[in-house]
Structure 1
Amino acid sequence: MVTVRRDVNAPTSAVWAVLADGWLYPTWVVGASRMRAVDATWPGVGAQLHHSVGVWPVLINDTTTVVASVPTRELVLRVRGWPLGEGDVRLTLTEHGGSCQVEMAEDAVSGPGKVVPGPARQVAIAPRNTECLLRLAYLAEGGAR
């Protein structure tokens, strides 16, 4: 798994509020370009986000599914990004006083992305997820004001 971390100047409840609002997904997830629908039970286990990836006019409709969810602590997602395949993403929130450390761990679990050697996957995943956490922090910090 490729893991990145970021300290967010907001409480875990503010970070969780961003994660729990499925309509914000393309705002903080690099590569997601628009939302089509959010299941009413999001972020409950089994709930899905129906989103598109890519840049117009080349968009692929796909889904992200909740595998595990512990409010204000952890969200585990099965992300689809075909034709590259599927991956698992674990977001872990840890309270530190009035702020939060977010850890994002991701790895390919199926499809062509799985056959790419681990170090090469890390080169692609780590910078993308670092940017995802920066965007997540901006949203949570702005909402916490």
Structure 2
Amino acid sequence: GSGVEPTAGNVLEPRDVPPEADDPPGSLPVRRTVAAPADRVWEVLADPARLQQWLPGARVHESEDGRHLVLGAQGAAGPTRVRVEVEPDDGPSCTVTIRQDVVDGPGRVVPRLARQGAVVVRSTLALRRLADLAEAPQRDLGSA
């Protein structure tokens, strides 16, 4: 072959993942009820330090209508597109849904069903971390 043009790569930071209008194709939703109001979850997601605690390497691509957030992140299998939806529940809780999938890199060669099995585990762990951050006492949110 003719080779590949040299690039800086993504050693120091993830490559940008272009936002798309729809959920990542074929992604499975993972949901969790968080014992905190939706505004509290958005506080965590809006804080850059907390966002990195929640999903290391995440970059916000778009936020729409106060309920959806689209992120790009670097996963073990390559650049990943993550869509987060926060829906208020009755009372002091909310439901958070995550859909994510690899959009480029070596993970794209893994069959979707196998890939989504691993992604569901990652989403479940990410939701647990997000819930822990959002459910922490208010005074702890601003401290590192």
**TM-score, normalised with respect to structure 1:** 0.69
Runs of 4+ more than 3 Å apart: none
2:117 paired with 1:91: no
Within 1, Cα distance between the matches of 2:130 and 2:104? 26
Partner of 2:113: 119
For 1:10, what is the secondary structure of its paired residue? Answer: coil
Unaligned runs of 5+ in 2: 1-26, 140-144
Seq. identity, %: 43
Within 1, Cα distance between the matches of 2:130 and 2:71? 16
Residue by residue over 1:66-120, the C-alpha shift from the partner in whole angstroms, topping out at 9 and shown as x without a partner, is 22213641110122347x3211100000011221100000011111111111111
Question: Given residue 121 of structure 2, which amino acid in structure 1 is its aligned partner?
Answer: P
In proportion to residue count, which structure has more strand? 1
2:135 paired with 1:109: no
Question: Given residue 29 of structure 2, which amino acid in structure 1 is its aligned partner?
Answer: T
Residue by residue over 1:5-51, the C-alpha shift from the partner in whole angstroms, topping out at 9 and shown as x without a partner, is 0001111000001111111134223xx3xxxxxxxxxxxxxxxxxx4
Within 1, Cα distance between the matches of 2:65 and 2:53? 20
RMSD between superposed Cα atoms in Å? 1.9
2:128 paired with 1:134: yes
Question: Given residue 133 of structure 2, which amino acid in structure 1 is its aligned partner?
Answer: L
Closer/same/farther in 2, CA of residues 71 and 22 from structure 1, 3 Å limit: farther
Within 2, Cα distance between the matches of 1:71 and 1:23? 23
For 2:36, what is the secondary structure of its paired residue? Answer: coil
Within 2, Cα distance between the matches of 1:138 and 1:81? 21
Within 2, Cα distance between the matches of 1:120 and 1:78? 21
Partner of 1:70: 64
Report the structure number with the largest CA radius of gyration: 2
Between the two proteins, the alignment pairs up a number of residues equal to 112
**TM-score, normalised with respect to structure 2:** 0.70
Within-5 A mapping of 1:53-68:
64-68=58-62
